[in-house]
Structure 1
Amino acid sequence: MAEYLSIDIGGTYIKYAFMDKQGKLHGHSKVETKENIQQALLKQVESIVDEALSICTVSGVGISTAGIVDREKGEIIYAGPTIKNYKGTAIKQHLIDKFDLPVHVENDVNAALLGERWQGAAVNENDVFCMTLGTGIGGAYYQTSLMDGFNHRANSVGYLLYDEKTKTNYEARASTSALSKMIHNELGSDISTRDVFERAKRSDDACYSIIEIWSKEVAKGLAQIIILVDPKCIIIGGGISAQGDYLLDHIQKQIAQFLPSEFLKTEIKIAQLYNDAALYGAVYPFFVTGD
């Protein structure tokens, strides 16, 4: 049976899964992302495609990736420190040359937003902003199409709110990496983020306080997005979105303090596809264009 292969390249893991012609995702797997020396990352992707071809007929490969992507060329045109030596990586052309398959490449947050508009929290909605909370923080905006900016650098929200005193930006204070650092500093390294949420739900004051402080930092950035873009809704994605309404309640109750009185009209939602959103969005173009 013919399938599409969806690959999500992150700084910590490369996740992948198959999608059938009915748009159902299955066969999830992941590998740790190697240090990107001598095109190690491309070699990992090659290996994943090779493995998939040994299992079934692959009709196309969709790539979701960290970094800023020129989607026409399928090339990384800017990359932060998450993946070293990544700028200039021509993923699309490399895979086409190697496997002679149709390939789409998209920034991971754009892909997550496409996934949520396709089968998630904002089906067929316009004026939707997506922010993913993970190792870093990424943003994407769909007005009537994906809005990239003139130099493809729009929505790089992790770089917002730079503080000269602490030498930190929004990402350094509000990512899940920042939350993990807070947890380790306050409670030790033997407690996980999931544990902290569970304890907070059971009225553990120390855990509740950590989540409250961190979610306030998240809310500060969301307020900037609302002021600048005025989206109909903001979708919060990334692995921590699995915390659902409990996470949403913590964040939502703090946004208004960073906005003018009665300014908040934007609906805040949790991603319905959770950490799979980018896997859906990576292959979505095949279902639109048919190639």
Structure 2
Amino acid sequence: MRLVTYQNRARTDAARLGVWLGERVVDVARLAASAGQTLPDSMLGLIDAGPDALALLGRLCDPYADQWPPGTSTWRDNVHLLAPIPQPRKNIFGIGLNYREHVAESSRSLDTAAQLPSQPVVFSKPPTSVIGPGDGIEHNAQLTQQLDWEVELAVVIGRQAKGIAESQAMDYVFGYTVINDISARDNRRAGQWIFSKGQDTYCPMGPCLVTADEIKDPHNLALTLKKNGELKQASNTRHMLFRIPALIADIASAITLEPGDIIATGTPSGVGAGRTPQEWMVPGDIIEAWVEGIGLLRNPVVNSQ
């Protein structure tokens, strides 16, 4: 299923949980109520409710096709999509230097090591960095002149994981979304990345969360990024140095992963810092991050207020 968090187009109502089906968005809680059932009205609530709730939602969607009960669906064009998880409970786990060619370009332009990492490089982005489709990536000229892009496949955890084996790790995945790991390259501090990568609006996410059963092989997905329509990044998740089971097991070896936690799995080459000459995002730019099987995440760059 393609799950979304949405509001009406005017953004005057509370956020709701929906299923994106073709040209319509079906409200999860209202659909359940129409059948005398109960389901959560938020993404985190649905993840917390576990596999039985997701299975119930699937059964409720099956009979209707395009004939939805009154008051349960609306046209996609009538809604505004938010980040699938607008307010994560914890920091997003970021993975640095997880594509071979990105390791090479980073060593040339960002003074990182040229050797391939022997373990996953883990950093984090605060919940306050999250924005949704169409929201503005803020460019604060007083802080940065080197605002950069990074398209990434993100993994959403479905149940608590601690001390698990790689062979078990995929059983803990709820689904996948797209993240653009925005980075102010001139804001790194003594090798620490959180100020560079964790500022407000530096984690665009969306447009939806695709449940794990819909993605047959997350290690064979094309991903691209365009700036103002010009292709900047193009690769495939098969080029990850550390695959998703290794990332989950590594983090969970020391940090408890909980339902709704998010892991951004790293970016391929083609970032602005690695180009010749270097390129940066400025107000007025339109950035489009895309991952096969999930969709397009489009955000403008705007002046910070």
- TM (normalized to structure 2)? 0.27
The structure that is strand-richer by fraction is 2
